[in-house]
């Protein structure tokens, strides 16, 4: 193959001129002189035997050749950056920083345990945990703000073709009532009994609430007729409200294991009704993933899949 007609420096200069709008601003951005910028462009134009920019005093405008060069320059320079990043990783294979995302329930009750296990094996890796709604976390992964996420509930439809969604377990949602409630003495309650309860619910934007309402509808239960005493946006607040006798609530089984063990709350089973949601790992397949992220995904997948195989509680 013959020698390339351009250098990486020339591609970087052309890309910067296009982005900044002028030779002068590009020189300032790159910390080199304006004559040096002009000389590199002239050398490349001479090598290609075609102009790259129209000579306009107000703004540097690309010719057709210039547009082609900028298009491929962005891809070439991006690949060069990834190459350097991959080479740097060879020097520190098991170090770095991870930004992990989680929806409310998984972030509160599942992630601390998983992060603890991972940090024990890789103490030199720093981890930042972001806990928000499934929708917000999904967009964080798509935008590159979050490296990897574990969520419950449905990923926004507009992102389902963009993100890789790895389902690993089902999380059952339990109807909890105070131990002193009359229903706590029953093996199970009937569907009709739900209309006699007072409910503490998550706010209407919650994905868990959507799952609950959809499942109940499929079971012939109309949640629109439930007596909603209050809406809260915290699982802990809901558990405390139920424990105080303010009403009943649907929460993830993973969030009440300690309370069930201590006998603080009662899980009221509903005859012929089971409410579950899928827990998923989200990654962006278009991103370059450094070793810390690959290690986390591998370790956490093993933990989650082992846990899911032995119990329904993640």
pLDDT exceeds 50 at position 256: yes
283 and 139 in a single domain? The answer is yes
Own/partner long-range contacts of 256-260 (Cβ < 8 Å, ≥24 apart): 256/174, 256/176, 257/313, 259/176
Closest CA to 226 of 205, 242, 245, 212: 212
Higher pLDDT, 207 or 309: 207
The answer to whether position 130 is within a domain reads yes
Higher pLDDT, 85 or 142: 142
* Domain membership of residue 122 as a residue range: 96-169+278-310
What average pLDDT does the chain have? 85
Q: What pairing do the DSSP bridges indicate for beta strands 61-62 and 148-152?
A: unpaired
Residue 266: the pLDDT is 94
Single out the residue in 42, 58, 89 at which a domain terminates: 89
* Per-residue pLDDT tens digits for 227-250: 999 998 888 999 999 999 999 999
184 and 48 in a single domain? The answer is no
> Positive or negative, the Cα torsion across 100, 103, 109, 110?
negative
62 and 126 in a single domain? The answer is no
The answer to whether position 2 is within a domain reads no
**How does residue 292 score in pLDDT terms, banded at 50, 70 and 90?**
low
Dist. CA 285–CA 142, nearest whole Å: 9
| Dmax (CA) of the chain | 89
**How does residue 309 score in pLDDT terms, banded at 50, 70 and 90?**
very low
CATH of the domain at 258: 3.40.190.10
Dist. CA 145–CA 115, nearest whole Å: 19
* Per-residue pLDDT tens digits for 91-118: 555 556 788 999 888 888 888 888 888 8
If residue 140 lies in a helix (H) or strand (E), which one and from where to where? helix 134-142
How many domains is the chain built from?
3
User: Does this model's pTM top 0.85?
Assistant: no
pLDDT exceeds 80 at position 313: no
* Per-residue pLDDT tens digits for 158-206: 999 899 998 877 888 999 999 999 999 998 999 999 999 999 998 777 7
* Per-residue pLDDT tens digits for 1-25: 458 889 999 999 999 999 998 899 9
């Amino acid at each position: 193959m013959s020698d390339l007609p351009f250098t990486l420096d020339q591609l970087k200069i052309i890309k910067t001129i296009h982005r900044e709008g002028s030779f002068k601003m590009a020189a300032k951005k790159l910390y080199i002189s304006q004559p040096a910028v002009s000389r590199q462009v002239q050398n490349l134009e001479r090598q290609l035997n075609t102009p790259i920019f129209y000579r306009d005093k107000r703004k540097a405008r690309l010719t057709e050749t210039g547009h082609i060069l900028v298009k491929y320059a962005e891809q070439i320079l991006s690949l060069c950056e990834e190459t350097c990043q991959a080479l740097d990783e060879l020097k520190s294979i098991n170090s770095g920083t991870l930004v992990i995302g989680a929806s409310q329930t998984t972030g509160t009750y599942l992630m601390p345990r998983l992060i603890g296990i991972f940090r024990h094996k890789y103490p030199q890796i720093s981890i930042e945990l972001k806990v928000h709604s499934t929708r917000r976390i999904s967009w964080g992964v798509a935008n590159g703000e979050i490296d990897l996420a574990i969520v419950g509930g449905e990923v926004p439809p507009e992102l389902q073709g963009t993100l890789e969604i790895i389902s690993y377990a089902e999380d059952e949602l339990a109807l909890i009532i105070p131990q002193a409630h009359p229903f706590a003495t029953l093996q199970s309650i009937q569907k009709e009994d739900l209309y006699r309860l007072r409910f503490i619910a998550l706010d209407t934007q919650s994905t868990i609430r959507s799952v609950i309402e959809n499942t109940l509808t499929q079971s012939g239960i109309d949640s629109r007729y439930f007596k909603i005493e209050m809406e809260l946006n915290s699982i802990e607040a809901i558990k405390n409200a139920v424990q105080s006798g303010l009403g009943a609530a649907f929460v993830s089984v993973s969030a009440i294991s300690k309370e069930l063990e201590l006998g603080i709350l009662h899980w009221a089973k509903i005859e012929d009704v089971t409410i579950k949601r899928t827990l998923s790992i989200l990654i962006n397949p278009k991103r370059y993933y450094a070793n810390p992220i690959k290690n986390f995904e591998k370790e956490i997948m093993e933990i989650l899949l082992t846990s899911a195989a032995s119990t329904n509680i993640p």
